[in-house]
Amino acid sequence: MPETNENRGSSDVSVELCDIVSSGGVHLNEVFKDPWNGIVLNESMGLQKDDPQFVSGEIFLSDEVDIFNNLKLVGDEAVDLKFRTPGKKAIEFQGRVYSVGYFRSADASSTGLSVKFCSPEKVVSDQLKISRSYKNVLYSDMIKDLYTPLKDISGKKIFVEDTKNIGSMIINNQSPIDAINKVIQVSRSLKRNGANYVFYEGLNKSFVCSSLESLVDPTEVETNMIYTYEKDDGDTGKSNRLKKMAALKSFRVLSLPNMLDGIKNGLYASTLVTNDLMKRKVRFSSFDYLDSYTSYKSINYSERQGGQKVTALTNNPNFRKSSLVHFIPQNYRSFDTETSYNDDRGDISLVRRSQMLQMNAIQVEVIITGDSEARVGKVITLEIPSTKAQTGELDQIMSGRYLVTKVKHIVSSEPSRGYVTVMLLVKDSYEKPLPKRVV
């Protein structure tokens, strides 16, 4: 174990606080000073299937003095963390333990603990079931109201982007978070044309409910950081630190657009069938990716000079709208109002489905030198060299602007391992327009 809480390895980190408080009020650092071997802290936007929308993490402990029994670790203990990249803002987080792992070597000479924790709002939300009825209410106001049971748990505020659409709906015996996730399915931004709201907890002690378009709009959102992929020649001292912070340690492509999956799931084209039970009327509507693409904000774009240039994911205009058919029942004036939740689903579902698939079409995982200011929801730029590295050109497919949708901070007490940050980056378009299709 290091003698101080400052790790002076290749990736410096200052761990100012790593504490677990038992239900009886006993502090970890009262039992043993800085027993941690590793800290993992996760922030996620929840864009991929089964991704959490709350901050979570894990602390690895070397149990040399029977911490397990001294603290009576059984779950629901409090966790308090504070660490930083020297010279940058610290990450501070208070959470609740939800699971404890216990490991002992075969000869019983060493014992280790794995303490998993999450946001206290997650713990409370899973215990609450609420019922609400809304009539002609802005969806953004519904979200603020549904968050009310969580706002005083740890004082975290919620930012909700104003919606343009007003609707009516019933929330019946759902957790606050499940209810919010239901509302964002039909929310449309006051300033945007799409339907791609997301909801997540950030490490800046707040919750965010915003459209992806507002997070990535290149006319309003500047790149937070430019990362280059170059060979790392090692730590050459403080003079090289700024360059290292902008260099990628690792770059891995997780997925590129899959045309067959896109066709099957409705990314490019689809049809909606609504059946109004009161009017006894069936309505058909269709969605076409390229017909509406320019009306939505994407993360990459080209200036339109002398003609329209689109940085879309495809240049094929001939996808069949029958590739995916979606059915939604409706009930005219079911709330004695013009629109209800199901009406908005009918208008929005195909657009939202396509936009969410677009944003996940290109996924890249990068590892950088630990950065305590790395956050989900930021826009960064990757500069990936072309395979013709001697020309100095950039890879036109993989380079460009990306949205950060997951951040994992990994801190080790071993100076040789230090602190690294793993980020999942996604984008819904290329930096350069695709060529005109001729075949």
d(Cα 67, Cα 32) in Å, to the nearest integer? 8
Rounded mean pLDDT, 310-320: 90
d(Cα 16, Cα 396) in Å, to the nearest integer? 42
Residues 6+ apart with CB under 8 A from 259: 314
| Residue 115 backbone phi and psi in degrees, to 5 | -110, 110
Q: Which of 13-27, 92-106, 227-241, 333-347 has the lowest mean pLDDT?
A: 227-241
pLDDT band at 54 (very low <50, low <70, confident <90, very high): very high
- How many other CB atoms are found less than 10 A from the CB of residue 236? 10
Residues 6+ apart with CB under 8 A from 306: none
Taking a C-beta distance cutoff of 8 angstroms, is the pair 409, 44 a contact?
no
What is the fold, at CATH topology level, of the domain defined by 125-213?
Phage tail protein beta-alpha-beta fold (3.55.50)
Task: Say if 125-213 and 220-256+361-427 have the same CATH topology.
Answer: no
Radius of gyration over every alpha carbon of the chain, rounded to an integer in angstroms:
24
pLDDT in the model for residue 381: 94
Rounded mean pLDDT, 168-178: 95
Picking from 401, 366, 409, 395, the residue whose alpha carbon sits closest to that of residue 380 is: 401
pLDDT band at 19 (very low <50, low <70, confident <90, very high): very high
pLDDT in the model for residue 271: 96
Picking from 112, 45, 39, the residue whose alpha carbon sits closest to that of residue 82 is: 39
Rounded mean pLDDT of the chain? 88
Considering only residues 120 and 239, tell me which one the structure prediction assigns the higher pLDDT.
120
pLDDT in the model for residue 24: 85
pLDDT band at 3 (very low <50, low <70, confident <90, very high): very low
Structure tokens at 359: 């944003």
**Displacement of CA 168 from its chain's centroid (Å):** 28
pLDDT in the model for residue 148: 96
pLDDT band at 209 (very low <50, low <70, confident <90, very high): very high
Phi-psi region of 166 (alpha: psi -120 to 50; beta: other; left: phi over 0): beta
Domain ranges across the chain: 6-124, 125-213, 220-256+361-427, 259-352
Rounded mean pLDDT, 95-123: 87
pLDDT in the model for residue 304: 53
pLDDT in the model for residue 240: 45
In the predicted model, is pLDDT for residue 62 greater than 60?
yes
Helix boundaries (H) for 11-153: 28-31, 67-70, 120-127, 139-147
Domain 6-124: which CATH class?
Answer: mainly beta
Picking from 33, 41, 34, 42, the residue whose alpha carbon sits closest to that of residue 15 is: 34
* E-assigned strand segments in 289-418: 325-330, 362-369, 379-383, 400-412
Share of the chain above pLDDT 90, in %: 64
Considering only residues 373 and 103, tell me which one the structure prediction assigns the higher pLDDT.
373
pLDDT band at 314 (very low <50, low <70, confident <90, very high): very high
pLDDT in the model for residue 65: 74
pLDDT band at 70 (very low <50, low <70, confident <90, very high): confident
In the predicted model, is pLDDT for residue 239 greater than 80?
no
348-364 per-position pLDDT tens digit: 999 999 999 999 999 99
Helix boundaries (H) for 56-166: 67-70, 120-127, 139-147
In the predicted model, is pLDDT for residue 230 greater than 80?
no
From the candidate CATH numbers 3.40.50.1970, 1.10.1740.10, 3.90.1170.50, 2.40.30.150, the one assigned to the domain spanning 220-256+361-427: 2.40.30.150
pLDDT band at 279 (very low <50, low <70, confident <90, very high): confident
Picking from 291, 289, 299, the residue whose alpha carbon sits closest to that of residue 219 is: 299
Taking a C-beta distance cutoff of 8 angstroms, is the pair 427, 408 a contact?
no
pLDDT in the model for residue 106: 67
Q: Which of 42-56, 231-245, 397-411 has the lowest mean pLDDT?
A: 231-245
pLDDT in the model for residue 307: 57
In the predicted model, is pLDDT for residue 108 greater than 70?
no
| Residue 396 backbone phi and psi in degrees, to 5 | -75, -20
Considering only residues 358 and 109, tell me which one the structure prediction assigns the higher pLDDT.
358
Structure tokens at 147: 């968050």
Picking from 177, 193, 347, the residue whose alpha carbon sits closest to that of residue 274 is: 347
Q: Which of 121-135, 163-177, 221-235, 312-326 has the lowest mean pLDDT?
A: 221-235
**Displacement of CA 126 from its chain's centroid (Å):** 20
Picking from 345, 301, 307, 308, the residue whose alpha carbon sits closest to that of residue 326 is: 345
pLDDT in the model for residue 433: 87
Q: What is the DSSP string of 140-182?
A: HHHHHHHHGGGTTTS--EEEEPPBS-EEEEEEEEE-HHHHHHH
